[in-house]
Amino acid sequence: MLLKTRSESNELLIMRALNTRSKLSPQEKKYYFKLEKGFQGELMFDLLTDKLQSDMLVINDICLEINDSIFQIDTLIIAQNTIYPFEIKNYYGDYFYDSDGFHKISGPDITNPLHQLSRCKLLLGQLLQSLGFNIPIESTIIFINPEFTLYQAPLKQPIIYPTQINGFMKEFDRTPSKLNDRHKKLADQLISMHSNKSPYITRLPTYQFNQMKKGIVCPKPKCDSYMISGGDKTVVCKNCGCVEPNESAILRCVEELKLLFPEMKITTGWVFEWCGGIKSTKFIRRVLMQNYTAKGGRKFCYFE
Ligand SMILES: [Zn+2]
């Protein structure tokens, strides 16, 4: 049973917006594509865990903290006798393994996912213990991309390669499991501890409002184009033709502003500028009034 769905991290959402609205350096672009690819890989794994029939609890994308250490688990599955953290890697291409770790053939080295896995297992163990749960942890790396090859692959490591995934999932689903209230309580407790503090957010490039391209970005994934006015009630994407009601487009822009500039006080003027002047300040003000709380009095009115 799925208890927590997956959505894009703030980091990915910010990088996505920056990619559309500013000029990223080649290195920043590479980092952005890596985040997109990682997220796509996780969604691919979700399609497989969706099919599980056994009595287990699935928690996607959880970020936890113990003793000032933050760790993130792509997928966590709670079964009767064991708890299974999964680390999903969407690597593509040819890699080799040696005692130093994983290396890309013709490319920069990557951080050893086995180290990441053992750190996560250790911290999760400490956290479970602090909650009074003594349940074995079995962690696994899933290489989800069918076009990933690892040469000199180590045996006896908790790694599932692309060609093994289907067999592994079938076998995994046969794990005998019968959950009780205690398991559910543990899952609820972990979800309530989920923190939005990404351990990686400091890797973001610096950016400023003035330097970013203004306008309403198309809501369709990967379209990256801008919307133009489609008449009184809607805006239309000039690339894919996608139609969106005015109000929902404005609200998306406000949420984007809040994500990119958490310190900013949201005013009609800022939103008007951010949307590229497509809709009148009068209309934007009305949308803000209806969906947020106005603060700060008449002279300097902002919305929260
Ligand atoms: Zn579009």
Q: Is the pTM of this model over 0.85?
A: yes
Q: What's the CA-to-centroid distance between 241 and ligand 1, angstroms?
A: 6
Instruction: State mean pLDDT over 164-191.
Output: 96
**Residue 135 φ then ψ, to 5°:** -130, 135
What average pLDDT does the structure give for the chain? 93
Q: What's the CA-to-centroid distance between 277 and ligand 1, angstroms?
A: 19
Q: What's the CA-to-centroid distance between 256 and ligand 1, angstroms?
A: 17
Q: What's the CA-to-centroid distance between 231 and ligand 1, angstroms?
A: 17
Residues of the chain above pLDDT 90, percent = 80
Q: Give, as residue ranges, everything with CB less than 5 Å from ion ligand 1.
A: 218, 220, 223, 225, 237, 239-240, 242
Q: Determine which of 5-19, 68-82, 143-157, 191-205 has the lowest per-residue pLDDT on average.
A: 191-205
- Residue 202 predicted with pLDDT over 80: no
Confidence of residue 203 (pLDDT cuts 50, 70, 90): confident
- Residue 198 predicted with pLDDT over 70: no
Instruction: State mean pLDDT over 252-279.
Output: 94
Q: What is the pLDDT of residue 200?
A: 59
pLDDT in tens, 113-127: 999 999 999 999 999
Q: What's the CA-to-centroid distance between 206 and ligand 1, angstroms?
A: 27
Q: What's the CA-to-centroid distance between 15 and ligand 1, angstroms?
A: 18
Q: What's the CA-to-centroid distance between 51 and ligand 1, angstroms?
A: 32
Q: What's the CA-to-centroid distance between 194 and ligand 1, angstroms?
A: 33
CA 63 to chain centre: 11
